[in-house]
Structures are given as structure tokens and as C-alpha cells.
Structure 1
Amino acid sequence: MTNPMRPAMPGLPTKPQGWPVGSYDTYEQAQRAVDYLSDNEFQVEKITIVGVDLMQVEKVLGRLTWGKVVGGGLVSGAWLGLFFGLLVSLFVTNSDIWVPIVYGLIAGMVFGVISTAIPYAATRGQRDFSSTMQLVAGRYDVLCEPDSAERARDMLAKLAL
């Protein structure tokens, strides 16, 4: 049981508080509603936007092959190696500043190929595709502290989305 006189520890998740004053299909609509309240001098510190019915959505981007894995490792490693090579070349006193850049580029490419090939080989064909993940909500509720909820609801009733 929490002590009402002691504030919650920062960083710990807390259940959102307030009364619902609006419900929207997209985050942009909920954001627009809060912006409308702000534009009309409402104390938006009393508002919380809550994503409800959360879903994890994985969008498949394409098939992975050894060529794509090695190529991606080469490119990302080359960029990293080039960066470190350029950084080291700033501190080289002789006239041959290209040596650390070339060594950095080659070392980065080797590191990039190794760091992508080993995890791909470890999957043994169980995940031969690339994808991105997103957390999305089925709807977005706008909550307001009880002392101002009626006013917020009345104001949002005038907003045409």
C-alpha cells in the first residue's frame, strides 16, 4: 500500500489518473485535442493521453540472404571504421594521414561482416527476414483531473476533428 503523503518514486510506471474527456482513433487526433485545449487557455498539465488496447506490430521488410547480411555488415562497418580512422588521423603528426583512415576502413569492414554474420548464422534459417517493430494503440483516451474534467469535456465537444 502506498503512502499518500509520500510521492511515487521517479521512473517507476504509474497507472494514469483522471476522468475520460475524449477518445480518438489516432494519436494525432488526441494530440490535436490537447493542442486545442492549450490554445484555449486550458491548464493542460491536468491532461494525460493514454494509449489503450496496445498491440505490438511487426512489419516484415524483406527476405534476408547471406549477400544482404554480408553487404549490410560491410557498409555499416565501413562507416564506423571511416569515422574512427578520421578521428585518429586528426592526431597523426606526419604527412601520411591516409594510413589510419584506410586501416580504420578495412578494420571496420571486417568487424561489420563478423558482427552481422555470426548472429545470422546462429539463427540457422529460423529467421530469414528483416522487420521493424512498433507499439501501437487501438485508441487514445484523453484523461483529465476530476476538478477540470467537465470543462475539458465541454471544450472538446466544440472541436470538430
Structure 2
Amino acid sequence: MSMRVPGGGFDSTNPIRLDFPQSLAVYDDYAAAQKAVDFLSDNVFPVEQLVIVGTDLKRIERITGRLTTGRVALGGVLSGAWLGLLIGLVLSLFTTAEQSSLAIIVGTLLFGAVFGMIFALVGYAMTRGQRDFSSVTSVVATKYEVLVEHKVAAQARELLAGLPGGLPDPFA
């Protein structure tokens, strides 16, 4: 069962769905689309009847460096050490007075570092040199379209005409 808020347009089962959306404007960056929605909000427009949709998605992979056996080993040691430290801290909470919390923490940290390095090196060896670089990947939109519920589309267009710069040129 979906719930409607006063003014309509919002479906709690699918909050990004509009009943009959119409394109209001297309912007080259998110900041411009956000500015248009903010302008409409400032002019008391029912903004819950708007959706900003990123279109023309692209996957971008930024290469951050070369992978070598040494870098892979160091990364494995560091990530394993963090995991070992976390486990050691949790285990040290349950120690008795005779047991040394510091010894437990140091021991799990060292075991974590060793096993982290081993797992990282094994994973790197399994790629057989097919991926000798590190990277960061993200998905970005090249256009941002503001959609509006059909019942208030004319009102939104009229208000946006007053935005400094007005509506973007649809043929640009």
C-alpha cells in the first residue's frame, strides 16, 4: 500500500517514482540541477513532485599507481594488522586478571598482519600479471534531467523562467 502526502506525487514504496513525469530541464552538472530545484523550493513549489535523474552514465576508472609484489605485500600487512587489532581489542575485553590484554592485542595484530600479507600475495599471484595497477572506479552522469509531475509542470516551467539564466536551452 502506498501513502500519498498532501500535494501527491510521493509513493513510499518507490520514493523516486512519479505518476506521469515530464521533463522540466536538462543540465550539464548536478549543481545546476540542484540550483533549479532549490529555486523552485524557495518559491514555494511542491518539490516532492520533482526528481533529478542522472543520465548518460559512464564508468570512470582512475589509475592510482603501479602494483608490485612489495606494494601488494605491504597493503596486505596493513589491512591484516587492522583486522588483527580489531579482533585483539574485542578479545581483550573478555580477559581475566591473569591474562595480559596487551599480549592478546599484539598477538592478534601480528597474526593478522602475517595472514593479510599471505592472502594478498596469493590473490595477486592468481592474477598472473593481468592487472598490475591499482585504481579507483566510479560511475558518473554526464547530464542531469529534472523531471516533474505532469499536474504541476506548467507551474514549474513558469517559475523556472524567473531563475537567473532561465531554463537551459533544450537544443544546446
Q: TM-score scaled to structure 1, two decimals?
A: 0.85
Specify which of 60, 74, 78 is matched with residue 77 of structure 2.
Answer: 74
Q: Tell me which amino acid in the other structure corresponds to 2:123.
A: P
Q: Which deviates the most, 29-38 or 139-148?
A: 29-38
Size of the aligned set, in residue pairs, is: 152
Secondary structure of residue in 1 paired with 2:140: strand
Q: Which residue of 2 aligns with 1:156?
A: 160
Structure 1: tracts of 5 or more residues without a match:
1-7
Q: Which residue of 2 aligns with 1:18?
A: 21
Q: Which residue of 2 aligns with 1:27?
A: 30
Q: Which residue of 2 aligns with 1:123?
A: 127
Indicate the structure whose relative CO is greater, using CA pairs within 8 Å and at least 6 residues apart.
1
Runs of 4+ in 1 over 3 A off after TM superposition: 13-17
Written as runs of structure 1 = structure 2, the 5 A alignment for 1:98-113 is: 98-113=102-117
Root mean square deviation of aligned Cα: 2.2
Q: Is the 8 A contact 1:57 1:133 kept in 2?
A: yes
Q: Which residue of 1 aligns with 2:138?
A: 134
Relative to 1, partners in 2 of residues 1:53 and 1:16: Cα closer, same or farther, differing over 3 Å? farther
Q: TM-score scaled to structure 2, two decimals?
A: 0.80
| Distance in 1 separating the partners of 2:153 and 2:48 | 12
Q: Tell me which amino acid in the other structure corresponds to 2:61.
A: E
Relative to 1, partners in 2 of residues 1:17 and 1:62: Cα closer, same or farther, differing over 3 Å? farther
Q: Which residue of 2 aligns with 1:43?
A: 46
Q: Tell me which amino acid in the other structure corresponds to 1:87.
A: V
| Distance in 2 separating the partners of 1:61 and 1:139 | 26
Secondary structure of residue in 2 paired with 1:75: helix
Structure 2: tracts of 5 or more residues without a match:
1-10, 166-172
Question: Sequence identity of aligned pairs in percent?
Answer: 48
